[in-house]
Structure 1
Amino acid sequence: MGKLSTHVLDVTQGKPGVGVKVALFAVRGNEKVLLKNAVTNSDGRCDAPLLQGDELQEGRYELVFGAGDYFAAQGVQLPAPRFVDEVVLAFGIADPAQNYHVPLVVSPWSYSTYRGS
């Protein structure tokens, strides 16, 4: 049975993003349904998979990361409005039997992701 997980890497400091708020939504047509809220731990990861087993279904999802609030809490001088604030990663689950790891690599000026396992 598959699972969905994430982690955050702060590339400005070369360390895990600790204390980043993460929200997971299922996207069903024009509707977004909040499935889970989490906060990253000392390793920049959530303490448990965001979804696993029967919870993980084929479909469209969004992860929303509170990157701007994280950098502000780190004392980073940010412009108003912030260039990178909430980072929304929209992705699909095609095979819920597989593992989907969707990390965020982020700075106040850029971000990227990839599909891991």
Structure 2
Amino acid sequence: MPAKHRKQASQEQPESDDVVQVAPHNVSVSQGQNFFKVYVNNTEIGFTPWDIRLTLSEILGGDRAGIHVEKLGMLVMSPLHAKALLKALDTALSKYEGRFGKIELDRVEAQISGPSPGTTPQ
């Protein structure tokens, strides 16, 4: 199966405002045979002295017996790449919030965990 290739010259504009060009030279991008797309709504993070590990999973729902989480895969990367990813995610989320409004993580976390003991829900 032939890989799809796309060349992007440094003087060309990115296809979208959401794409950040990171290299000042020509880059050839191809989609590998094992390319995958997966939806996750839960991530566990672990590390060793040599790498950072992101276990990707999806919370499928719950009942009185508990919550069912399906682990889908793991991303393993160097600490250097993890730091670069953190910076790229921060940039992307800032642009997202600039366009769509602030992400209210504290409010969602409070809804998930419920009221703290001794407090009254609002």
TM-score when normalising by structure 2? 0.23
Q: Which has the larger radius of gyration?
A: 2
TM-score when normalising by structure 1? 0.24
> Larger relative contact order (C-alpha < 8 A, sep ≥ 6)?
1
Higher strand share: 1
